[in-house]
């Protein structure tokens, strides 16, 4: 499992953990021949192999700690590793570690008999080298004790293996009667560190999942921002195109429309003195006059849009929103004296041209004033609220509100909820386009009261 885990980025050091686990498992398997009815030759051979595996186990610990704390082995540690590997290879030769004699001893209270090869004269110092190697492993890990359990577990494990190695050596020499415990020590150390690594694996997987979720949220947010930026760019380009079109339309149509309107007005005043005239003449003339007036209003609207659209493309524009709003409110109070018009909040300097802001807020205020016409208690409120980067201007009215089926179409060009001839349907669409071209936004905030909110970027926070 650890060998497979070592293929993942950041887990390369677990390849040496796999070597530690593998040598410990093979060591315990070789020792298993000591408690079964195996031949003397098999017992000696597996005993030599277990000593070889013990030396490789010590070397694997050094290499694992080097990879884990990313600190190269010292010169002494490299000598210890090289010596351990050399002794491991030498232990495979007959009569180096063990003689041909087999020693048996029984632990009465356990009812188990161990048959182990007798240690040769050279075997004692070689076994001492292995125990000394584990001492160096423990010292290296103890120096990094404060790094957490990734170093504390190897330190405690090395000390445990040293103690059990001394214990088994003394038990094999029959200084006292006790079962051999080094195999259990290998199991405890490898299992304990395996559980720690498993917890690290789970924590890593949890962190990766959190990073994945965070990245997914960031991608979603960036995608939404990019979509809004692209929409704003498209609206800006469309607005510029509309501006060019509006200028041409205004120039070509406004003059003849004015002539038609003037002539119709003259005709209406003239035919009133006729005694004999068609019954529907006045009605036809009135319809013609109304239609011509609508043409004129649309042309004037487009001309205003064309003028303001060119200003919306300025990136260095700025104006005092307070001054613009005061002028708009003063005009509204003069033209609608019966409406209770209130203003609350503080404005500041915004990064929008004065004509653009006047156009946007003027259209919002005009819509609100139109909505309260005929209401028994007409009220319009303008509220300003600023944060560090944005000024929010909300215009609310006590009108009848906007029907749910109309709310999705509020910002569509030429959509209007007023009667025929009373609105062009360009007000909110143009206001939204102008604001988005200036990194702002316009939204419908709900009924009761009916409220629209314009958000405009500030040049500096409001004091």
Q: What's the pLDDT band for 407 if we cut at 50, 70, 90?
A: confident
Q: What percent of the chain has pLDDT over 70?
A: 78
How confident is the model at residue 144, as a pLDDT? 81
pLDDT in tens, 24-47: 888 888 888 888 888 888 888 998
| pLDDT, greater one: 47 or 291 | 47
How confident is the model at residue 247, as a pLDDT? 62
- Asked if residue 270 has pLDDT above 70, the reply is no
pLDDT in tens, 381-405: 999 998 888 999 999 999 888 888 8
How confident is the model at residue 117, as a pLDDT? 84
Write down the domain spans for the chain: 2-180, 314-463
pLDDT in tens, 308-349: 555 555 567 888 888 899 999 999 999 999 999 999 888 888
How confident is the model at residue 382, as a pLDDT? 93
How confident is the model at residue 125, as a pLDDT? 83
Averaged confidence pLDDT in the chain: 80
pLDDT in tens, 363-382: 899 989 988 988 888 999 99
- Asked if residue 19 has pLDDT above 50, the reply is yes
Q: What's the chain's Rg over C-alpha atoms?
A: 46
| pLDDT, greater one: 17 or 414 | 17
- Asked if residue 447 has pLDDT above 60, the reply is yes
How confident is the model at residue 97, as a pLDDT? 84
Distance CA 47, CA 172 (A): 12
- Asked if residue 360 has pLDDT above 60, the reply is yes
Average pLDDT in the 292-301 region?
69
Question: Looking at the whole model, is its pTM more than 0.85?
Answer: no
* Torsional sign, CA 367, 369, 373, 375: positive
How confident is the model at residue 311, as a pLDDT? 53
- Asked if residue 11 has pLDDT above 50, the reply is no
Q: What percent of the chain has pLDDT over 90?
A: 10
Architecture of the CATH domain 314-463: 2-Layer Sandwich (3.30)
How confident is the model at residue 304, as a pLDDT? 60
- Asked if residue 3 has pLDDT above 60, the reply is no
pLDDT in tens, 233-268: 776 666 666 666 566 566 656 666 776 677 677 666
Average pLDDT in the 46-59 region?
88
How confident is the model at residue 380, as a pLDDT? 94
User: For every residue of the chain, which 3-state class applies, written as one string?
Assistant: CHHHHCCCCCCCCHHHHHHHHHHHHHHHHHHHHHHCCCCHHHHHHHHHHHHHHHHHHHHHHHHHHHHHHCCCCCHHHHHHHHHHHHHHHHCCCCCCCEEEEEEEEEECCCCEEEEEEEECCCHHHHHHHHHHHHHHHHHHHHHCHHHCHHHHHHHHHHHHHHHHHHHHHHHHCCCCCCCCCHHHHHHHHHHHHHHHHHHHHHHHHHHHHHHHHHHHHHHHHHHHHHHHHHHHHHHHHHHHHHHHHHHHHHHHHHHHHHHHHHHHHHHHHHHCCCCCCCCCHHHHHHHHHHHHHHHHHHHHHHHHHHHHHHHHCCCCCCEEHHHHHHHHHHHHHHHCCCCEEEEECCCCEECCCHHHHHHHHHHHHHHHHHHCCCCCCCEEEEEEEECCCEEEEEEEECCCCCCHHHHCCCCCCCCCCCCCCCCCCCHHHHHHHHHHHCCCEEEEEECCCEEEEEEEEECCCCC
| pLDDT, greater one: 245 or 206 | 206
Ranking 58-62, 210-214, 238-242, 391-395 by mean pLDDT, the lowest is 238-242
Instruction: Note whether 306 and 378 are within 8 A (CB).
Output: no
- Asked if residue 432 has pLDDT above 60, the reply is yes
């Amino acid at each position: 499992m650890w060998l497979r885990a070592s293929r993942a980025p950041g887990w390369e050091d677990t390849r040496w953990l796999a070597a530690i686990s593998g040598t410990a498992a093979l060591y315990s398997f070789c020792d298993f021949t000591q408690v079964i009815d195996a031949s003397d030759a098999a017992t000696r051979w597996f005993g030599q192999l277990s000593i070889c595996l013990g030396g490789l186990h010590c070397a694997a610990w050094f290499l694992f700690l080097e990879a884990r704390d990313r600190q190269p082995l010292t010169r002494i540690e490299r000598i210890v590793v090289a010596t351990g590997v050399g002794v491991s290879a030498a232990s495979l030769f007959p009569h180096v570690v063990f003689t041909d004699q087999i020693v048996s001893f029984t632990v009465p209270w356990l009812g188990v008999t161990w048959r182990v090869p007798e240690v040769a004269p050279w075997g004692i110092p070689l076994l001492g080298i292995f125990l000394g190697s584990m001492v160096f492993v423990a010292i290296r890990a103890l120096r990094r004790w404060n790094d957490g359990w990734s170093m504390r577990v190897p330190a405690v494990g090395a000390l445990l293996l040293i103690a059990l190695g001394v214990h088994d050596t003394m038990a094999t020499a029959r200084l006292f009667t006790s079962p051999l415990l080094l195999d259990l020590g290998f199991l405890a150390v490898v299992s304990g560190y395996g559980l720690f690594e498993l917890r690290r694996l789970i924590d890593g997987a949890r962190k990766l999942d959190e990073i994945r979720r965070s990245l997914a949220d960031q991608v979603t947010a960036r995608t939404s921002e990019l979509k809004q930026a692209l929409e704003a760019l498209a609206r800006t380009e469309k607005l510029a195109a509309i501006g060019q079109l509006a200028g041409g339309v205004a120039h070509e149509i406004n003059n003849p429309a004015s002539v038609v309107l003037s002539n119709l007005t003259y005709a209406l005043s003239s035919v009133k003195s006729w005694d004999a005239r068609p019954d529907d003449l006045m009605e036809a003339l009135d319809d013609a006059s109304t239609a011509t007036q609508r043409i004129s209003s649309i042309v004037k609207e487009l001309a205003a849009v064309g003028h303001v659209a060119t200003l919306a493309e300025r990136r260095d524009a700025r104006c005092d929103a307070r001054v613009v709003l005061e002028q708009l409110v003063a005009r509204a109070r003069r033209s609608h004296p019966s409406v209770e018009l209130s203003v609350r909040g503080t404005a500041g300097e915004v990064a929008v041209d004065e004509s653009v802001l006047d156009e946007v807020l003027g259209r919002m205020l005009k819509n609100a004033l139109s909505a309260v016409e005929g209401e028994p208690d007409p009220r319009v409120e303008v509220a300003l609220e600023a944060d560090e980067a944005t000024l929010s201007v909300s215009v609310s009215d006590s009108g009848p509100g906007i029907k749910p089926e109309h709310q999705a179409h509020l910002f569509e060009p030429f959509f209007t909820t007023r009667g025929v001839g009373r609105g062009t349907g360009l007000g909110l669409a143009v206001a939204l386009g102008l604001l988005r071209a200036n990194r702002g936004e316009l939204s419908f905030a709900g009924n009761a009261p009916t409220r629209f909110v314009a958000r405009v970027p500030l040049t500096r926070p409001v004091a």
